[in-house]
Amino acid sequence: MAARATSLGDAPIRGLEWVAKTADPARALGSVPTECLKVPADPALAAKVEIGRAAFRTQALLGGQAARAGVNCETCHRNGRTNPDFLFPGISGAPGTADVTSSLFSTHRGNGIDDPKPIPDLSGPKGKLKIDQDPGQKKLEPFIHGLITEEFDGPEPTPAVLAGLAAYVRALSPAACPAKTREPLDVALLMSDARRALKAAQAQTAAGDDPTAVLMVASARSRLGLIDERYAAPALAKPRADLRAASARLATIQADLHDHRPNAAPELAAWLAASPRLEAELAARQSQSLFDPARLAQAAKRRLPG
């Protein structure tokens, strides 16, 4: 199973390898459920939510086989919801299930039993979820900590990341669900996610928390990576090269943050200022990429056999 999982990069889009073959690729990979997020009015709590939202969307939060396969929290919980199309080799039973005690992802919680369970909707009624989210009960943070460090063999999260993830999950609410149930997964959405993550990085480095800022930049790069894999056609070489150059700039910023260099903050600001031009270039060629439903359907036919 591990060998199978490490070969995921051979698919035209990596996510095709954990989407049920019976699923409509235009729906499963061309759109996402709309996010049911109630942003808190308190600016400090809203900032925590943004940290958690970004961490939720990067495999750098996790470790081991999950991180190598490109899996993050959002892989199972699309936009904080559920994922009825999720079907990961060795992890799932029926579509929309996952075995969270599989040794494929965890050296701590693997129980040797194949027991996949339905993926819960984190935006559903709070009373139906496994863990009490009442901040006063203080149960959610240790639960999330265990998921990261034990279930997925991830590194120790910073206090701000752990608090942010708990704040993000608590801010997901069925009362906040938009009337429109799905939205396109496109350049605009992914670039918006990247900018939100980088703005969270700016706030954290200003507060002196560079380790958290590093993860926020990793989240932005993860979103750029989802664009990159859909721009692999030779005709898209120029926008893809510009996208990769932008990601390389973020990698340099990550190194600067890691080493506490003062140029990281102005470089973040410069990247954000230049991002609308990059987005416009990518959006102008989107119809030639695998964001186009017809091209995506063709790519789905080229997934790995088995």
CA distance 295 to 292: 5
Q: What is the pLDDT of residue 6?
A: 31
Is 200's pLDDT higher than 60?
A: yes
Q: What is the pLDDT of residue 7?
A: 34
237-279: pLDDT as tens digits: 999 999 999 999 999 999 999 999 999 999 999 999 999 999 9
User: How sure is the predictor about 8, in pLDDT bands with cuts at 50, 70 and 90?
Assistant: very low
Is 305's pLDDT higher than 50?
A: no
CA distance 87 to 93: 7
159-185: pLDDT as tens digits: 999 999 999 999 999 999 999 999 999
Q: Model pTM greater than 0.75?
A: yes
- Mean of the pLDDT values across residues 4-16? 57
CA dihedral sign of residues 162, 37, 60, 109: positive
- Mean of the pLDDT values across residues 12-40? 91
Higher per-residue confidence, 9 vs 289: 289
- Is residue 282 within 8 A of residue 246, CB to CB? The reply is no
44-59: pLDDT as tens digits: 999 999 999 999 999 9
- Mean of the pLDDT values across residues 68-90? 92
Is 110's pLDDT higher than 80?
A: no
- Mean of the pLDDT values across residues 194-212? 98
Amino acid occupying residue 85: D
Return all residues near 37 (Cβ < 8 A) that are at least 6 apart: 49, 53, 80, 168, 171, 172, 173, 176
Is 142's pLDDT higher than 90?
A: yes
Mean of pLDDT over the chain: 91
Q: What is the pLDDT of residue 2?
A: 30
Distance of alpha carbon 47 from the chain centroid = 18
User: How sure is the predictor about 63, in pLDDT bands with cuts at 50, 70 and 90?
Assistant: confident
Q: Under CATH, which architecture does the 186-298 domain have?
A: Up-down Bundle (1.20)
Q: What is the pLDDT of residue 187?
A: 98
Which of the listed ranges 10-24, 56-70, 98-112, 163-177 does the model predict with the highest average pLDDT? 163-177
Is 15's pLDDT higher than 90?
A: no
Sequence ranges of the chain with CATH classification 1.20.120: 186-298
- Mean of the pLDDT values across residues 18-38? 92
